[in-house]
Structure 1
Amino acid sequence: MLSIDRVRSDLRDHLARVLLRYGIAGASVAVAVGDETAEAAAGVVNLRTKVPATAGSVFQIQSITKVWTATLVMQLVDEGLVGLDDPVADHLPGFRTADAAASARITVRHLLTHTGGFEGDLWEATTSGDDALQRLVEDHVPTLAQREAPGSRYSYCSAGMAVLGRLVEVKRGLPFAAATRDHLAGPLGISEIAFNADEALGFNTAIGHLDTGSGKGPLPVWATMPESNPAAGNQLAMSARALCAFGRMHAADGLGPDGTRLLSPASAALMREAGPALPAFAVPRSVGLGWEVVGDGALVQHGGGAIGVQSVLLVVPSRRVVVAVLVNDSAYLGLMRDLVDPWIAEAAGVVPDPAPVLSGPEASLAGVERYTGVYADRNQRIAVAVREGRIERTYTPLGGARSMMVRAGLPPEPFTDEIRRVAGDLFATRNPDGTAGGYTQFLDVEDGRARFMHSGRRSVPRQG
């Protein structure tokens, strides 16, 4: 069983060393084991200013916000204001995707489990005001292609979370930020929280970092994503101890630190219940209501990332263990592997992301004609081809992805990597040093061709 003394010792002895080993700009970590908490920070919030990171520093949490949004929705369920299997249009009459008939069948549960079937990455800028979500949902969601029937399969959908955020706004009569403060952050005693750059100025705030080839430095902007989708996590920032407090509420089945019930035990348990499977993972993983569920449910988690920032929240409910990790750098996997994964293995008996074992190039080429071709959506074009005896993917950023790269000061150029088979239609990236990276799975092989490439939790359709 993981002990808080072990965590404190590891943080004291190893956190700063791990950051130096992997060249990570800064990090803040908070860990709860039962009723006790350990927290530590190392590095800096900005390599230019050299201001040290502290336990109170705020970092962007990005997509972990989706679990906050899901929790706000489940509070509405607890109050009888919304039903999980209600059509979304019953509560938001203007809701629709590009397929009016299909979108009429999309339920609240579909959006919570990323099974709405419509294109998910909607990074259009609307306004920076309280109407940002309304404008995104009413003006831009109707342009999204309906890729599959509602409920067919998991594909990560930030646009669906925008719709749920708008549902919260309508039911609460409050902008999303105010609803989050009133119904979660306030009752949890969280004050180290910011919803945009203006609010972040009130804290010791971390900015993202990149290694551009001429050395690592801070991004030219605090946020590469627009403010238009606060419910999916475009700019929400907080301290690691604030994020840990949120995780502790879930580990306590909905009880806040002062005993106030923020979520019913039934809803907290339902959020952690395994639902539709996530493709492209070697260790079985599924989606609950907001959470990702690893294995048999011993661990639930969610991560967040944008250019130059990374965040992870892990909860082992049966042991009341919570780990919150915030990093202002694209390099973070070494920190997870060396420090965090051993804690989770001891507490939950699972390793969230074990390194895949790659086949040789010849084995990877078996049945390659099923996979070659072009896969694309509004934000990316991925060409899969065989060159010099290996399978290569060439990724070209489009739309919102290209715009974010420009804001980050990166050249929006195509790049190519190699993928090798792990098993069946499951592949993984082969890094230049021979190690394995993220998974890719080809789905729905029909007439000798895959219909989708599932990578980065998203199913991207084949073109032509």
Structure 2
Amino acid sequence: MTPLADLQGLIDRAARRHGVPGAAVAVGTGRQVVEAATGVVNVDTGVEATVDSVFQIGSVTKAWTAALVMQLAGEHLVDLDEPVRGYLPEFGVLDTAASASITARQLLSHTGGFDGDLLEDTGRGDDAVAKLVAFMRTNARQLTDPGTLFSYCNAGYCALGALVARRRGRTWEAAMRDLLIDPLGAGHMALYAEEAIMFRAAVGHVGKPPRPSPRRLLPQADAPAGSTLSAALRDLVRFGRMLLADGVADDGTRVLPTGTFAEMCRPQVTLPRIGDRPAAAWGLGLMLFDWDGRPVVGHDGSTPGTSTTWRIVPDRDLVFAIHANGGHLAAFIDDVLAEIISTTADIRLPPRLSPPPTPVPFHPDTYTGTYAAPRITYNVRADADGLAVTEIPSGLAAQFRPGKTTTRYVHVGDSHFVGLEPPQGPHPMIAFLQDGRFLYNLRLVPRVTD
């Protein structure tokens, strides 16, 4: 029995196994879409999760923001290889030369080279994103030369949201509604909390047993990067089908210029490989995977107590989305993802990296020290056969993470390390780049002391 035939049973069993309060899945092959939901949207209210429920999709939003930028490029309102400042004069970071040279292509591919997680709450007005862009000018450090290294950058996507707003003469939210959501016919999407309450809206859950996250409203300034958008998963499938149809929506409306999806899938930067599961490269707003010798694209997203996975398998005309609102999120998604992609696309999902039976020898002095980003500090010290990495969140980040936590890592070769004690399923992975100058966990975190 395929997951399309028993999708409900698949997610029911996985949710029970991994303590997930509520979940949903939508799978589209060709023009057929199969959906299922399980559990509740909120353990306090007991409201049932349905396929019409809207879930926070987190950074999956970045693919939508990228599509808005690609519309601008297709209309010759933005050249992806010209400096962003030419279209958005207020854009800038602490480094004067970088401010004058960073391009939209670099922001789309996370190669702008500056601090990405500023997490500054600038209020809930229409000017929230613009205020964050102003904050970047005096707070975003330049870590590497633009266009040289990948470092996941939420702030860069906020700048892209401001770029869209400026070129369209309206807010990012209005542009999203007018130019993507409505033309797609995506009827179950909410851009604000006051829109989400018109639907059966899910909340994230944290802790054991899972309880509703104490913070659901994330900063409006980060909306283009993924702080606010909620959707029923069928609308994520609808978006993916439009991409597969070379920019044409189900009703025949052209939403994106011809060739846009192919351009978005073109590798812009290669990522350090820590195992076969993570993305091998990044395109323009899309993660690019090589799974079982086959191309797969998509994006992941999370907000406190939630996780969303959205994938497209182009050569199988397959789009699917999976969401869980608490419990062992990664383990649940792994189970459902592996079954869907193996049965529907004949792809064996690569296993996640695990600690080796015998740790690979290494010289700890190369890596020990303190590494700091704007809202988190990592203290790295030698520990038995590996490293002990203590994470210390601060500011707004401390509201989304537990207090100080320490994880033990062992060496797996090539300056890559894997965690020994996974808190909820997969073992965490880190790497050190440029002889220990940076700790890398999708973000580049610079070393500040030895």
Q: Provide the TM-score with structure 1 as the length reference.
A: 0.92
SS at match of 1:203: coil
Label 1:141 to 1:21 Cα distance change in 2 as closer, same or farther (>3 A).
Answer: farther
Tell me the equivalent position of 1:242: 235
1:251 touches 1:316 (CA, 8 Å); kept in 2?
no
Code of the aligned partner of 2:418: A
Code of the aligned partner of 2:295: A
Code of the aligned partner of 2:185: G
Tell me the equivalent position of 2:438: 452
1:280 touches 1:441 (CA, 8 Å); kept in 2?
no
Label 1:59 to 1:39 Cα distance change in 2 as closer, same or farther (>3 A).
Answer: same
How far did 1:152 drift? 1.1
Tell me the equivalent position of 1:409: none
Tell me the equivalent position of 1:356: 353
Label 1:433 to 1:140 Cα distance change in 2 as closer, same or farther (>3 A).
Answer: closer
Counterpart of 1:52 (choices 48, 65, 80) is 48
Say whether 1:264 aligns with 2:257.
Answer: yes
Label 1:297 to 1:121 Cα distance change in 2 as closer, same or farther (>3 A).
Answer: farther
Tell me the equivalent position of 1:461: 446
How far did 1:14 drift? 2.0
Q: Deviations over 1:124-181 (max 9, x none)?
A: 0112111111111123344200011101100000000011000100111111111001
Say whether 1:368 aligns with 2:364.
Answer: yes
Label 1:337 to 1:129 Cα distance change in 2 as closer, same or farther (>3 A).
Answer: same
Tell me the equivalent position of 1:222: 216
Tell me the equivalent position of 2:334: 337
Q: Distance in 2 between matches of 1:330 and 1:285?
A: 28
Label 1:435 to 1:92 Cα distance change in 2 as closer, same or farther (>3 A).
Answer: closer
Correspondence 1:102-181 to 2 at 5 A: 102-181=98-177
Mean CA deviation greater in 364-373 or 41-50:
364-373
1:356 touches 1:422 (CA, 8 Å); kept in 2?
no
Q: Distance in 1 between matches of 2:385 and 2:353?
A: 21
1:210 touches 1:330 (CA, 8 Å); kept in 2?
yes
Mean CA deviation greater in 363-372 or 378-387:
363-372
Query: How many corresponding residue pairs?
Result: 445
Code of the aligned partner of 2:187: S
How large is the Cα RMSD of the aligned pairs?
1.9
Tell me the equivalent position of 1:289: 284
Label 1:432 to 1:93 Cα distance change in 2 as closer, same or farther (>3 A).
Answer: closer
Q: Provide the TM-score with structure 2 as the length reference.
A: 0.94
Say whether 1:321 aligns with 2:307.
Answer: no
1:252 touches 1:320 (CA, 8 Å); kept in 2?
no
Tell me the equivalent position of 1:384: 380
SS at match of 2:308: strand
Code of the aligned partner of 1:201: I
Counterpart of 1:431 (choices 418, 421, 427) is 421
Instruction: Name structure 1 gaps, 5 residues minimum.
Output: 406-411
2:371 touches 2:445 (CA, 8 Å); kept in 1?
yes
Code of the aligned partner of 2:183: P
1:280 touches 1:454 (CA, 8 Å); kept in 2?
no
Label 1:436 to 1:234 Cα distance change in 2 as closer, same or farther (>3 A).
Answer: closer
SS at match of 2:434: strand
Q: Distance in 2 between matches of 1:298 and 1:386?
A: 38
2:422 touches 2:428 (CA, 8 Å); kept in 1?
no
Q: Deviations over 1:27-54 (max 9, x none)?
A: 1111101111100100100011111000
SS at match of 1:9: coil
SS at match of 1:230: helix
SS at match of 1:156: coil
Code of the aligned partner of 1:422: V
Q: Distance in 2 between matches of 1:352 and 1:291?
A: 19
Say whether 1:419 aligns with 2:432.
Answer: no
Counterpart of 2:303 (choices 303, 306, 310) is 306
How far did 1:9 drift? 2.1
SS at match of 1:228: helix
Mean CA deviation greater in 288-297 or 302-311:
288-297
SS at match of 1:83: coil
Counterpart of 1:193 (choices 179, 189, 193) is 189
2:3 touches 2:339 (CA, 8 Å); kept in 1?
no
Q: Deviations over 1:331-380 (max 9, x none)?
A: 2222222222232245555556522142346x344222211111111111
Label 1:346 to 1:371 Cα distance change in 2 as closer, same or farther (>3 A).
Answer: farther
Mean CA deviation greater in 201-210 or 379-388:
379-388
Q: Deviations over 1:236-259 (max 9, x none)?
A: 111111111111111222110111
SS at match of 2:299: strand
2:111 touches 2:147 (CA, 8 Å); kept in 1?
yes
SS at match of 2:91: coil
Q: What is the aligned-residue identity percentage? A: 38
Code of the aligned partner of 2:410: R
Q: Distance in 2 between matches of 1:156 and 1:138?
A: 20
Label 1:124 to 1:351 Cα distance change in 2 as closer, same or farther (>3 A).
Answer: farther
2:297 touches 2:313 (CA, 8 Å); kept in 1?
yes
Mean CA deviation greater in 104-113 or 258-267:
258-267
Code of the aligned partner of 1:302: H
Code of the aligned partner of 1:417: T
Correspondence 1:386-405 to 2 at 5 A: 386-405=382-401
Label 1:190 to 1:436 Cα distance change in 2 as closer, same or farther (>3 A).
Answer: closer
2:331 touches 2:426 (CA, 8 Å); kept in 1?
no
Q: Distance in 1 between matches of 2:6 and 2:347?
A: 19
Q: Distance in 2 between matches of 1:158 and 1:444?
A: 23
Q: Distance in 2 between matches of 1:268 and 1:142?
A: 35
1:18 touches 1:338 (CA, 8 Å); kept in 2?
yes
